[in-house]
Amino acid sequence: MIVAPADVEDAICRLAQMARAAGIHLVVATQRPSVDVITGLIKANIPSRVSFAVSSQIDSRTILDMGGAEKLLGKGDMLFFPVGASKPVRVQGAFLSDREVDDLVTYLKKQAEPVYDDKILVEAPAEEPAPEIEDELLAQAVLILIESGHASISMLQRRLHIGYARAARLIDIMEKRGIVGGYEGSKPRAILMSLEQYQQVFKKR
């Protein structure tokens, strides 16, 4: 929240909304109960709150919207404020050692061993590219560009009486076949085929 508050706040709120819809219990904790960490938007999406002992009433109000947490004794002493309740409930949290946590996690992991499907790791055979569809106007379009000395979609539209999509597709085909150069912004595409080469390629068909 300190480094990227907007991104983290958005991620927490979206996760809280989706968790509620999917029945997931989301627990978000912080050791810095300030308004720039526990924002109003985050509090609106996480209605049930727990506060351990804090140093001031301001911190208590930031978490619970009321004082009281500054009077807690520590060592698991907490205030639980569930959604729908009119005031928080004081409860005592149990101490849980790291070893107990490890034992519990190990036990839960043994209850349902993962079953992996290795077939998803096998790469599917690459599909052969679809054959390029020959445009009946290609030869005529190439000749127009060679005679004009530059490649222009609008000129093909005007001279061949075709729409923009087909004219652009003709230019793309020519670029793939090395007849015209690549796109260079405001510069016109270069014509890479001479009239002699055109006659050798297209007159044989």
Give me the CATH number covering residue 189: 1.10.10.10
- What is the reported pTM? 0.47
Specify if 106 maps to a domain.
no
Specify if 116 maps to a domain.
no
Cα distance between residue 153 and residue 169, in whole Å: 9
Specify if 101 maps to a domain.
no
**Domain coverage including residue 194:** 138-202
- Name the domain boundary from 94, 114, 146: 94
Residues 12 and 83 in one domain: yes
- Name the domain boundary from 94, 121, 150: 94
Specify if 157 maps to a domain.
yes
Cα distance between residue 51 and residue 55, in whole Å: 11
Query: pLDDT 10s per residue in the chain (205 long)?
Result: 778 888 889 999 888 888 878 888 889 999 999 998 999 888 888 889 999 999 999 999 999 999 999 999 989 999 999 988 999 999 999 888 999 999 999 999 888 887 888 877 777 676 655 555 567 889 999 999 999 888 888 889 999 999 999 999 999 999 998 899 888 777 778 889 988 888 888 876 5
- Name the domain boundary from 72, 94, 116: 94
Q: How far is CA 113 from CA 48, 100, 105, 109, in A?
A: 33, 21, 13, 7
Domain tally, the chain: 2
